[in-house]
Structure 1
């Protein structure tokens, strides 16, 4: 599919600043959040040197949409996806287009509308415990708090059996951050021998990954042995069958559960942390949020039924995810000689695109560096080009859990804002931390009672 029009030809450019041996990789590694958005000035499609290889950066909305709507030509692959396969295996987020439809069918029932209330109830319970644990004047590292919250919520949604699930949830909370950090190092330091050295970071990564594999294997074995319906994601995945009546193997189940962990922990945690920092810097938006949650909740914890009555809170979520999309950089690989934006792309080429860079395009989002939740009113959304915001990717590979993540984040922000105000600690400035996901890093905030 080519979404260009005849009177709007695309431009092919070359990324500036390439150096011998490394090409443009050093520019990307040093300052990706400024360098990648700047490439749209070089062309709609830009050639990028990554070492000896030539990759292609899709810079503009139209070209990214062309890329996303041709999943069989531009399949999952490239530097980002290849490194993610280290932990996610061949799950629904990383598998080939040829198997994606089958694998998605096993997970789809877990994300039906009738399941959302069940999962948001888990968020309601855990966010209630979190806000009860805070004390006025307490200083918290906001990303750590949100990560602990989303890890507990995601793990319980996966493993609800209280007899064996509690230990699994605790292990996920312990090990997943170490694995995720290890993937980041391997993504941006593509020198294999460095990751085989007998140093602490490599040892901790391997041990944590093994513990996660072990806990998932234990849970799968326990669920297969008792044969009971536990009303959770693992039960749904184990019960699934394809058109030929064949279910997933234990290895395939492991890959899907690791994919759900990666999507369910880091994306909402980073988005929540960003939202609270942005609110602390934007008093007008914070006042509107507080007015809404006070009117709807009156100090109580939000529930699934409250979601429809929290439109401004949901706008805050959408705008935080636009400004700081946790999945900030994505890759694809051309499976055959093809064209993109009308230019030839050889088979095997990596194609890069960045939700962060796209969301900073002023032709799509005027004053893109400003936090403006009102961008997400119904009228404003209708006026946007379709696919202008790709926080959860797009096309047939759009994230299965996008609606759930959005609802859970809305419930969490409303519940916290009903009781507490979070303030940035003086002397600490916000600098987005670029890892496997985009986050606020170790930003401290002070908890104030409302």
Structure 2
């Protein structure tokens, strides 16, 4: 089905074109990967042949091609950055085929809607506890604050652990590990380069060891006694006791570390950009505050409010359109694949970019404008499904998508009840693509308490 979908796109050229000199292309991609890919897509169309250095890659931009690339697991396999593979082991993000299918089925029950809604109160409790120390007029870096908050939420909701003062320490370790996925670092990386004893490599190793030790300590503690709430860690430990051959201690560690790293970074990044966009668009912020006041009054939100906080959800959706946390998804062809008559050879890399496609004027008029009204049910239904894919698609779609939506909407609503955030005047915003789309110089905001 996926291959036939590829062949059906008649808007794409039979032989994809692309930028010329491969070494100049490499230099341009290194300097500005987001700008380079966006310009290439706008100039060369829905299939772009990226001749970069010695490599031959392809960028797919049409929603039907994006769908095909994300759903064709037989011919195209997900790629995970080598530094992350070393840290994460064989968790849900890094495993493939039948192993991935079995792991996902095992974990899926923990992420059904009923379970996620039930976690709403846990999330809100962590949000209010974390932000009770905020004061009117304070300047905080919401890049750091949202990461610390995400760590606190996932700790309690997924592992029933209160990280407390450890959150900042764990955030520093997480950021250090993710620094290895910074695009400019990956562009220079090789197996030989990674073997060098460099300060950055030693920092990476220490941070990875810190995260590993924390997860293993959680597993050991859980073995000492049962947890009243059936959280993710309890489920994994129980299954380990029932079938030692199937789920080893190492596999529990790999799974928990995967959820800790990816499950924190994605919503934290999305929320950071949301506060930036609300600061820059006060009319949208006013409408958001009006909805929060109307729906909640003087009370805190809960998971039951998710469907009532419609504009809040639209704000988060539009934020992830402009600044998708995961900005690039890569597949490797394991056999020759035909796309609209053009053969992509085995070993080539195929990329789809939410950042590029989400800013395509064919699907989002005035694509640079922040407009949550794009996400009314009628407007969203009128667009092709894979014109918007912040969480991927198919059987590899993020298993925690529902959790991330709940966390995003409840965090925005809880904080918007009490606070406005204004970007520090003159602060420089520069996109810094890692595995997620970060802000190179953080995101300092001035807190203004709402009257």
Q: TM-score, normalised by structure 2?
A: 0.91
Q: CA separation of 1:263/1:161 partners in 2, compared to 1, >3 Å: closer, same or farther?
A: closer
Corresponding residue for residue 96 of structure 2: 96
Cα deviation 1:162-204 (Å, max 9, x = unaligned): 6xx6697676344222111123365232234444443332211
* Contact in 2 for aligned 1:171/1:215 (Cα 8 Å): no
Cα–Cα, structure 1 residues 13 and 400, in superposed 2: closer, same or farther, change >3 Å?
Answer: same
Instruction: Give me the whole-angstrom Cα distance separating, in 1, the residues matched to 2:164 and 2:275.
Output: 29
| CA deviations over 1:342-375 (Å, ceiling 9, x no partner) | 3212222211111100101111111111101011
Distance, in Å, in 2 between the alignment partners of 1:89 and 1:250 is 12
CA deviations 1:136-187 (Å, max 9, x no partner) are: 111111111111100111122232156xx66976763442221111233652
Q: CA deviation at 1:245?
A: 9.7
Residue of structure 2 equivalent to 1:136: 136
Q: How far 1:393 moved relative to its partner?
A: 0.3
- The alpha carbon displacement at 1:398 in A equals 0.8
The DSSP-based 3-state class of the residue aligned with 1:363 is coil
Q: Distance in 1 between matches of 2:387 and 2:9?
A: 21
Distance 2:443 2:168 in 1: 24
Which residue in 1 is equivalent to 2:37? Answer: 36
State the alpha-carbon separation in 1 of the partners of residues 324 and 250 from structure 2: 30
Instruction: Show structure 1 runs of 5+ residues with no match.
Output: none
Q: Which residue of 2 aligns with 1:120?
A: 120
Q: Tell me the residue number matched to 1:408.
A: 407
Q: Any conservation in 2 of the 1:420–1:448 contact (CA below 8 Å)?
A: yes
Residue 217 of structure 1 and its aligned partner are, at CA, apart by 2.1
Matched, 1:14 2:17: yes
Paired residue for 2:417?
418
Q: How far apart are the structure 2 equivalents of 1:176 and 1:293? A: 32
Cα distance in structure 1, aligned partners of 2:245 and 2:428: 53
Instruction: Please tell me whether the aligned partners of residues 362 and 368 of structure 1 are also in contact (alpha carbons under 8 angstroms).
Output: yes
Please identify, of 262-271 and 219-228, the stretch whose mean Cα deviation from structure 2 is larger. Answer: 219-228
> Structure 2: which 5+ residue stretches go unaligned?
none
1:68 positional shift: 1.2
Q: Aligned partners of 1:265 and 1:62: how far apart in 2?
A: 30
Q: Report the counterpart of residue 28 of structure 2 in structure 1.
A: 27
Q: How many residues align?
A: 443
Structure 1 CA distance for aligned equivalents of residues 139 and 9 of structure 2: 56
Residue of structure 1 aligned with 2:73, choices 71, 85, 90 = 71
Give the aligned partner of residue 356 of structure 1. 355
Matched, 1:274 2:273: yes
1:308–1:246 Cα change, 3 Å: farther
Indicate the residue corresponding to 2:263 in structure 1: 264
**Do the aligned partners of residues 50 and 190 (structure 1) sit closer, same or farther apart at CA in structure 2, a change above 3 Å counting?**
farther
Change (3 A) 1:284 1:426: same
Counterparts of 1:360 and 1:292, CA distance in 2 = 27
2:179 corresponds in structure 1 to: 181
Q: CA deviation at 1:229?
A: 5.6
Q: Deviations over 1:38-86 (max 9, x none)?
A: 2223132222233312122212222111111211211112xx5444323
Q: Does residue 172 of structure 1 match 2:173?
A: no
Superposed CA RMSD in Å reads 2.4
Residue 384 (structure 1) shift: 1.2
**Residues 102, 33 of structure 1: alpha-carbon distance in 2 compared, 3 angstrom cutoff:** same
Give the CA deviation at 1:240.
Answer: 4.2
Q: CA deviation at 1:225?
A: 4.7
The aligned runs of 1:262-411 (5 Å cut-off) are 262-411=261-410
2:60 and 2:66 in contact (8 A); partners too: yes
2:145 equivalent in structure 1? 145
Cα distance, 1:382–1:37 mapped onto 2, change above 3 Å = same
Distance change in 2, residues 1:7/1:222 (3 Å): closer
Question: Displacement, 1:400?
Answer: 0.8
